[in-house]
Amino acid sequence: METSPGILGRLSEKVLGWIALGLLVALGIAIWQTPADTKQAIWSGVWRATAWLAIVATLPWASRLFMGRVLEQSSNWAGVALVAAYCLADVIAAVCLMTVWPASGWAWFLSAVALAIAGTYNYLVCEYVAEQSGL
């Protein structure tokens, strides 16, 4: 049974919403006051990351076209190869969209985390498509 939040729950939602809005406005002002070349680098990074996320999010859904053939193999290795191919495509897309290599250990760590999340997403989508194929 679902209960409605009390007055403190509603108040905390409002406060957190206003804090988030204030942080977004502060971020916008900070970006607005940066030099033009820094601003261009920020927007370039945002657009490249968005393009990579779009590629990562849509690519594994293409397995609907050939999931039947993968399932006919009756081998887990076919599924492993499919997910590995999608991960390789994610890496290739990331390399094509990057302008420079990550410069620090944290940047490499975050790149590895992004690839791990993308690989997990690839696996989950392929599992879902396999279940929906009905074979």
Quickly state the pLDDT bin for 85 (edges 50, 70, 90): very high
Give dist(CA 52, CA 55) in Å, integer: 5
Instruction: Enter the tokens of residue 28.
Output: 């916008």
Distance CA 112, CA 48 (A): 17
pLDDT, one tens digit per residue, over 91-114 is: 999 999 988 888 889 989 999 999
pLDDT band for 135, please (50, 70, 90 cuts).
low
pLDDT in tens, 1-33: 556 668 888 899 999 999 999 999 999 898 889
Report the mean per-residue pLDDT for the chain: 89
**pLDDT reading at 42 higher than 70:** yes
116 closest CA partner among 39, 64, 48, 56: 56
| pLDDT over 80 at 134, yes or no | no
CA distance 31 to 109: 25
